[in-house]
Amino acid sequence: MVGLLTSLLRGLVVRRPGLEGQGGAEGPLADRLREAEEALRSVVLPGYDVDIISAGLVERIRVGLDGKSIMVVLGYSRSNPGCSFCRFISSVAWTKIIRDTRRALAARGFDKIVLVDGATGAELDA
């Protein structure tokens, strides 16, 4: 596990989703990065018609130098008791989001997938 994280940290850092105009990276890793973002846009929040990137849950994406390893940092711990949307994202919903995220990335050929809680750095598992 530590080796995979170390490998991913040396990989290409994707712009933070939702922030346009960052970088103009080209090449195979940039293409893999775009594929990963497309895959993540296919993961929809349960009960809402919005994907996890548009909802702001994806904080960062890193693709390993091998093009098959990926680390996605999610705003998993974000919760605001005054926000009905935040309360909705319960552990059941997060389990589905994590599972769907893994499936979407695996379908694009990523075979080493690490999902991380942006607040704690803990690996997320469904």
Contact between residue 54 and residue 41 where contact means Cβ atoms under 8 Å apart: yes
Backbone angles phi, psi at 61, to 5 degrees: -135, 135
d(CA 67, CA 22) in angstroms, rounded, equals 20
DSSP state letter for 16: P
Q: What is the pLDDT of residue 77?
A: 61
Q: What is the pLDDT of residue 58?
A: 93
Predicted TM-score (pTM) of the model is 0.76
pLDDT value for 125: 85
- Residues of the chain where predicted confidence (pLDDT) is lower than 50: 1-2, 15, 18-22
pLDDT of 22 reads 47
Residues 70, 77: Cα–Cα separation, whole Å: 20
